[in-house]
Structure 1
Amino acid sequence: MLDLTVIILTYNEEIHIRRCLENVCPIAKKVIVVDSPSTDRTVEICREFDNVEVVVHKYPGNQAEQFNWALDNLKIETEWILRLDADEYLMPELIDELKEKLPKMDKDVAALSLSRARAFAGKILHHGIVNGIWITRIFRKGKARYEKRLMDEHLSVDGEIVRMEHQFVDDNRMTIGQFTIKHEGYASREAALLLDAEYHLTDTSSLPKDHGEEVERKRAQKERYAKMPLFWRAFAYFVYRYIIKLGFLDGKEGFLWDFLQGWWYRTLVDAKIFECKKACGNDKEAIKKYILEKWGIMIDD
C-alpha cells in the first residue's frame, strides 16, 4: 500500500463513486471524501469501504476553495496526496508505475503530473484534443495548493514536477441529458472567465505563476480565444477538433464529444457573453454586476 492519501470532492456522485473507490482504496493508506453535501446515496456508498473517511463540508462556491479547505483542516498523515474526481480512475499501468516509482521518488520532486485520457459514452477516445493533456494531481504534503479560480483551477507547486508515463481516465457516466444540464452551469463560469480574460476584471498580479509551461500555454490560448469573434470561434474550434485533429476517427462517440463539448457548449458560452455585452456594453463594473446578478458568480477585484 502506498504512503498516499486520496482526496475526492463529491456532490451527488452515486453513479461514479463506487468505481472510483474500488480503484484507489486497494493502493492508498487513506481515502477522504469531502461531500458538499449530497442528497443521493454518495455518502452511504462511501461508508461501505473501510479506509474511506467521509467529511461533510458546505460547498464554498468553487473546487479550489473546497480542496484547500480539506488541506488546511483534515488530518493527513501520508507523505503524498492525490486529488481525484469521483468520475475518474487510474489505469492499471499507472497504478503499477506509482507502486514502482513513488516509494523511491527523489526528495527534490514535489509533485507528479499525470496524463488524462477521456472517455465518452463508454468509449475511451484517442483523437481530437483528448491526448497530451497533463495535469498535476499528486503532490507531497505541504508542497502544493490550488489557486482561487472559477474553473480550470491548477495546483501551485513549490518544487520540481515530474511526469508519469501512464494515464488516469475521466469517464463520466451521465446521460446526454444530464451532461447538457450540467454544462449549462459550466457555461456561465466559462463565460465569466472569458470576459475576465478579455476585460481583465480581476487583478491577477498577486496570483502565483509557478504552474509550469503547460498551464501557462493553456492560459495564453484562452486569452487568444477570448479575442476571437463570438460564435465563429465555437465553429472553428469544432472543425479543429473533429477534422484537423481527427476526432472523426473515434466514431459516433467522438462526434458527440466534439460537437457537444466543443461546438454546442462553446456556442452556449458565447450566447451568454453576447447577452452580457448587449446589456452592459464595455462597462467593466456593469459586467461584474451582471455576472453576479444573472449567473450568481462573484468576480473579485
Structure 2
Amino acid sequence: MVQTKNEEKGIAGCLAALDDFDEVIVVDSNSTDRTAELAKEAGATVINFTWNGKFPQKKQWQLTEIETRNEWLLMLDADEFPTPELARELRAIAEDPAESRVAFDLPVAYHFAGMGLRHGHSVVKRSFLRRGLNEFRNIDLLHLPGMGEVEAHYQPEPRGPVGRTTAKLVHHDLDPVRTWFDRHNRYSDWEAFIRMDPRTRENVRGSKSSQGRRFDRVPLKPLVFFLYSYVLRRGFLDGRAGFDYALALSVYYWQIGLKVRELQRGRAEAAAPAVSGAAAAASVPARSGEADHA
C-alpha cells in the first residue's frame, strides 16, 4: 500500500519494485500531476483520499477503511521500495502459518542528497503490519502548526509481538535536497511546540522506540547527535555524504532548540506586562480620601 501526493517522479520506480506483490494499492491525495495515471498504468489499484481535517489521518484511515484480500500490509511512501531480499523475506513471513508476530520493523537504507548511506545514523520503520492488530493512535497533534493529512513521524502501536527483518527498505527521495530542508523546517516547528506542551510531549514520547525515548532526554542534542552519527556510528566512512547527513540532522536538532527558546521567550514577554501592570497598580498611592472608603 503506497501513499502518494504529486509523486510522479518516483512512483514508477516504487511500483516496479512491487511487481511480484499480488496486490498493490496506491492511496492518492488528489494529486494534480500524473501520479494516479502512472500508478494505474503500472497495474496498481488507485484509491483517492480527501482528508477532512480530523482524526483519523491518512495512515490510520488506510488501516481501517481500505479493503484488501491480504492479511499483511506493507505500508510505503512513494520514495521507498523493498529490496528483492526484503520482498522475499516479507513473503516468507506472510506465508508462515506459525507466525505469531503482528508487526515488523524494517531497517532503512537511506539516501541523502542523491547519495546512498551505509554507515552513520540509521532508523527502522514499522511498515509491515498484520491487519486489525496495529493502530496509529490519536496522540493529539492536529493542533500543531503545519500539521497535515499524514501522521507525524511515530510508529503504529501493535497488539502483539514485533519482529525485525534482516533485509532493508530503501528510502531514495528523487526531489532536490532543498525539499528535505523544507520538510525538516516544518518538522522542527512541530517538535518545538511539542516540547512546550508537557502533556503532548509525554504522548509523543510514549509512541517512540526505547532508543527515541532515551535520546529525547539527552542534553546538547546537536553536538551529541553529530558525534554519534559521524564518529561512533562511523558516518565518516560514507565520505562527504556521511558528513553532510550528520551535519544536516544536527542542524535540525539545533533548529528545534532555537525555536523552543523563541517560544519560551515569547511566553515570558507575554506574561511580563500583566505582572508589571499588577505591580504598578499596587505601588500607586491612594488619592486623598480613598483609603477611608476601602
Please classify the TM superposition score into its range, dividing by the shorter chain length.
0.7 to 0.9
Q: Using a 3 Å threshold, how does the CA distance of structure 1 residues 62 and 208 change in structure 2: closer, same or farther? A: farther
TM-score, normalising length: structure 1: 0.76
Say which structure is richer in strand.
1
Q: How does 1:144-293 map to 2 (within 5 A)?
A: 144-149=134-139, 150=141, 151-196=152-197, 199-201=198-200, 204=203, 215-222=209-216, 224-225=217-218, 228=219, 232-260=220-248, 262-281=249-268
Is contact 1:128–1:241 with CA below 8 Å preserved after alignment?
yes
Aligned residues: 260
Contact 2:192 2:256 in 1 (8 A): yes
Match of 1:19 among 13, 19, 35: 13
Where does residue 43 of structure 1 map in the other structure?
36
State how far apart, in whole Å, the 1-side matches of 2:191 and 2:106 are: 24
Q: Match of 1:292?
A: none
Amino acid in the other structure paired with 1:32? I
Q: Structure 1 regions of 5+ residues with no counterpart?
A: 1-6, 285-301
Q: Deviations 1:83-108 (Å, cap 9, x if unpaired)? A: 11111111121122223343125242
Kindly state the Cα deviation for residue 111 of structure 1 after the two structures are TM-superposed: 2.0
Counterpart Cα distance in 2 of 1:83 and 1:219: 24
Match of 1:299 in 2: none
Aligned equivalents of 2:237, 2:39: Cα separation in 1 = 38
SS at match of 2:183: helix
The question of 1:69 aligning with 2:69 is answered no
Aligned-partner Cα distance in 1 for 2:205–2:192: 23
Match of 1:103 in 2: 95
Tell me if structure 2 keeps the 8 A contact 1:37–1:56.
yes
For the pair 1:33 / 2:23, whether they are aligned, the reply is: no
Give secondary structure in 2 for the equivalent of 1:30.
Answer: coil
Q: How far has the Cα of 1:166 moved from its partner?
A: 0.9
State the SS of the aligned residue for 2:257. Answer: helix
TM-aligned CA distance change 1:142 to 1:31, over 3 Å: same
SS of the residue corresponding to residue 104 of structure 1 reads coil
Q: What percent identity do the matched residue pairs reach?
A: 28
Cα deviation 1:102-155 (Å, max 9, x = unaligned) = 31252422222222221223332122112xx33321122111121235522111
1:47-92 Cα shifts (integer Å, max 9, x gaps): 2122x12222224569972111122222222111111111111112
Task: Label 1:38 to 1:110 Cα distance change in 2 as closer, same or farther (>3 A).
Answer: same
Structure 1 residue 243, shift from structure 2 partner: 2.5
Segments of 5+ residues of structure 2 without an aligned counterpart are 142-151, 272-294
Contact 1:147 1:153 (8 Å CA) reproduced: no
Distance 1:74 1:119 in 2: 30
TM-superposed deviation, 1:251: 0.9
Larger radius of gyration: 2
Q: Is the 8 A contact 2:74 2:128 kept in 1?
A: yes
CA contact (8 A) 1:111 1:136 kept: yes
Residue 131 of structure 2, aligned match among 138, 141, 145: 141
Rounded Cα–Cα distance in structure 2 between residues aligned with 1:248 and 1:47: 42
RMSD: 2.8
